[in-house]
Amino acid sequence: MAYTSTAKWFHWITVVLIAVALPTGFVIGHIKDASKMGFYTIHESAGLTLLIVATLRLWWRATHPVPLSPELPALLRFVADTVHRLLYAALIAQPLLGFFTTNAYGFPLRGETAYLGFIDLPKFMEANEGLANTLMMLHVWLGWTILLLLCAHIGGVIYHQAIRRDGTLIRMV
Ligand code: HEM
């Protein structure tokens, strides 16, 4: 069974946004010059857009079950399904963590780091350094977890493509 064009759009928009949010997240800490603010804006805007896309995608997915290949062994179906569910959960939790971290640091998305560069978002709390450090630690941890989940996901695609040769990748393009 083929994926619908809506499923494909959701999938590839998600890929592009992760490809922006994840690497920028990992490099921001190493940038010491004035371009750092631009990296924050790009990282945070891509991350929050991911939250919107992932939420819409989950809502859409609830009414449109994914056609996982029926001839796949039960164990592999379970693994693929679990990785997909964990990715959805992580893509919702990670932007929320990032968003509340910036607020807790007293660094809301306003002015120089407004959402998409020009949309000021409300400030949700007073600065609280202890809370900010805890949220940041979780954000870092979840960043690495997302990287691992993506490796598992891409590993699965390679397995389908190179070993089973069942055209799974082609179904998503
Ligand atoms: C799914 C979306 C997101 C992903 C995958 C992601 C991933 C990451 C990663 C991997 C890091 C680097 C952690 C490290 O130091 O090793 C990071 C840092 C950070 N992220 Fe995110 N993030 C996302 C969304 C957001 C959002 C929505 C915000 C804020 C609105 C945000 C704010 C931050 C901040 C402030 C840092 C610290 C940068 C620094 O000063 O070192 N992130 N993120």
**For 5-14, 47-56, 100-109, 156-165, which range has the lowest pLDDT when averaged over its residues?**
156-165
Minimum-distance ligand 1 atom for the alpha carbon of 144: 10
Q: Which residue, judged by its Cα, is nearest atom 35 of ligand 1?
A: 102
Is the pLDDT at 8 greater than 80, yes or no?
yes
Cβ of 92 closer than 6 Å to ligand 1, yes or no, is: no
Which amino acid residue places its CA nearest to atom 42 of ligand 1? 98
Q: How far is 71 from 86, CA to CA, in rounded Å?
A: 23
Q: What are phi and psi of 115, to 5 degrees?
A: -60, 130
Q: What is the pLDDT of residues 150-171, one digit of tens each?
A: 999 999 999 988 988 887 788 8
The best mutation among 43, 51, 146 to test binding of ligand 1, ranked by most ligand atoms within 8 Å of the C-beta, falls on 43
pLDDT at residue number 112: 92
Decide: 104 in ligand 1 pocket, CB within 6 A: no
Sign of the Cα torsion 54, 22, 165, 160 reads negative
Average pLDDT, the chain: 94
Domain ranges in the chain are 5-171
The fold for domain 5-171 equals Fumarate Reductase Cytochrome B subunit (1.20.950)
Does the CB atom of residue 145 touch ligand 1 within 6 A? no
CA angle 17, 22, 24 (to 5 degrees): 100
Which ligand 1 atom sits nearest the alpha carbon of residue 140? 13
Asked whether the beta carbons of 114 and 69 are under 8 A apart, the reply is no
Q: Whose CA is nearest to atom 33 of ligand 1?
A: 98
Q: Pick the residue with more confidence: 64 or 150?
A: 150
Reported for 69-74, long-range contacts at CB under 8 A and 24+ positions apart, including other chains, are 69/160, 69/166, 69/168, 71/166
Residue 96, number of CB atoms within 10 A of its CB: 14
pTM > 0.85: yes or no? yes
Residue at 1: amino acid letter: M
